[in-house]
Chains A and B, each alone.
Chain A
Amino acid sequence: MSLALLEIKDVKAGYGAAVALQGISLSLRQGERVSLLGANGAGKSSIVNVISGLLPIRSGEVWFQDERIDGRPAHRIVGLGISQVPEGRLIFPKMSVWENLELGATVLDEAEQKSGLLEQVFELFPRLAERRKQMAGTMSGGEQQMLAVGRALMSRPKLILSDEISMGLAPVVVRDIYDTLLRINQEWGVTLLMVEQEAKLALEVADSCHLLESGRIVASGPADEMARSELVRKVYLAED
């Protein structure tokens, strides 16, 4: 048994004629927090979509817990313990908070669903508990993002893939959500792979970081080292 929870080996993928990933290799250890950094179109989202089965790969391999998972349909990935917080705060707008969360737990069996998971999620996000009967679409952007994270937690994942959590949200709200993600990582032991365009955040919340450019990983390393590197500072942190 290898130490890696997730391992991607030389993956190439794309949309039609467009090549999104040109040979990506990376691995995540159990309990690790890794962020993917890069400009628009660099391939960050494509990596998480490859893992969650939404984007089929053209070559390479994806392994999760010593099982090869590339080629599996997206709906069969969730049950393995991989949950995605998709880009754009995807929730079911015309359903209550409670119904949204319940839908997140459908891969679990009855006993697991009733094992107090909902209470744990409400404990992490007290705001959701207050609004459990409210239509999800009528909540603020931040609350909707909390719900998206809460929904992803309801399948008891081992790995959470988050895609641009900060997009369109006030910095203080983003901070709050990332703090909760760190709690989930530390208290629940959930491994995190976070796509984040906000470079400062991406480097703060993660142990290690991969920098992507046009579908390739151009730099990787511990987050603090990456934060000091010339390339990252100049281009992504806009420092002199």
Chain B
Amino acid sequence: MNSKLAPYLTALVVMAALALLPPLTKLIAPAQWELTAHIGIKVLLNVGFGLCLWLMLQAGELSLGQSGFITIGAYTTGILVAKYKLISVVWLGYLAGALAATVIALLLGYLIVHLRRIFFLLVTWSFAEMLHPVLTSFEHPFGGAMGIIDIPAPEGLGLFAESWTGYYYLALIYAFVVLWLIWRIAGSKVGLITKSIGQNDTLVTFCGLYVRKYKVMVFALGCFITGVGGGILASYLTAISPETFTFFTSLDIIMFNLIGGMGTMAGPIVGAVILTGLNEYLFAAGYWRMVVYGLIIIFFITLLPGGMVSLPAVIRKKLGRKSSKQEVSLG
């Protein structure tokens, strides 16, 4: 098989399988579909968010503020489409949300992309936290503590008998469009430059490239895509408040990359599937959830820094070492 086509074919097969999930589930276990759809929507949107951060991580941008950009996307959509009804087409509301996230990312990014990882993390985190009191304090335009309600579904979603089936397909398309976009970028010259910045930005300067420009570009692009996801979430949830997207949302997006692994694009996808699934159960654990998170973080950073996708290679290496030891003892 042509190796250039292989990843596209794999993606198509997975996408087709996921597209068949609704009719099949409804056929085999109809009672299960609604819950499955809700989890599926979260997983698919999270895959998109995780991939955006993956691209930023390539450039050394460890953002703990992605919930802020989801919030900006969601609120912009909600304010324009529901609260003041300034835009009548919901899809355009998503675009406006994404553009708002991009503008903020350009401004913030220009100021902070040169910072070292830890400071970049601190600033992005505080930026996202800053939004909560601001949104809570102003009835206009943010809706205060109550937030924004009655956010409509995008046009065309009414074609589906149940809204969750429609949102499931929307999230599926979102995830695969993001996957395709990030894949294309990662394989382009800009992707190569992005990766090189993460390895040694001084040397990138010596190659005659303006590091700041590329870093801001990657940050803004990641936030644009994340902003679209925020808009979709606003519709899906129908109501958003300052507490809808929290520190945990941002932490999760980092953890997708940590659990799955940052080496390849498969990492955040695997991580998003695992952690989103796990979160369904952890929700019941209340504040014990943080204990589980702590243990997961310690485990992956110390024992499996390459994430789940590195597991096969790690196991192979361990087995290989064992067999070579046996050979020695036999000899």
Contact = CB atoms under 8 A, between A and B. Distances in A.
B205 A94 contact: no
Given A94-B199, A99-B192, A107 B208 contact: yes
Interface of B: 189, 192-193, 195-196, 199-200, 202-211
B206 A106 contact: no
A151 B207 contact: yes
A99 B194 CA distance: 12
Contacts, number: 63
Given A75-B210, A75-B211, A79-B208, A86 B202 contact: yes
Given A92-B196, A103-B196, A106-B193, A74 B205 contact: yes
Given A75-B210, A90-B206, A99-B196, 10 more contacts: A54-B205, A77-B208, A103-B192, A103-B196, A103-B209, A106-B209, A107-B207, A107-B208, A152-B206, A155-B207
Counting from the closest, the 7 A-B pairs by CB-CB distance are A78-B208, A107-B208, A75-B210, A90-B203, A92-B199, A74-B205, A103-B207
A95 B204 CA distance: 13
A130 B138 CA distance: 64
A222 interface: no
Contacts of B210: 73, 75-76
Contact of A75 (B192, B196, B208): B208
Contacts of A123: none
Interface in A95-143: 95, 99, 102-104, 106-107
A52 interface: yes
A77 to B, nearest CB: 8
Interface string A201-228: 0000000000000000000000000000
Nearest to B198: A94
A74 B206 CA distance: 7
B59 to A, nearest CB: 13
Contacts of A94: 195, 199
Contacts of A91: 200, 203
A84 interface: yes
A134 to B, nearest CB: 16
A168 interface: no
Interface centre among A54, A86, A92, A95 (most CB of B within 10 A): A92
B45 to A, nearest CB: 30
A93 interface: yes
A106 B206 CA distance: 11
22 contacts: A54-B202, A54-B205, A73-B210, A75-B209, A75-B210, A76-B208, A78-B206, A78-B207, A78-B208, A84-B206, A86-B203, A86-B206, A90-B203, A92-B196, A92-B200, A93-B199, A95-B195, A103-B207, A106-B193, A106-B207, A106-B209, A107-B209
Contacts of A155: 207-208
Contact of B204 (A54, A93, A99, A103): A103
Contacts of A151: 207
Contacts of A86: 202-203, 206
A107 B206 CA distance: 10
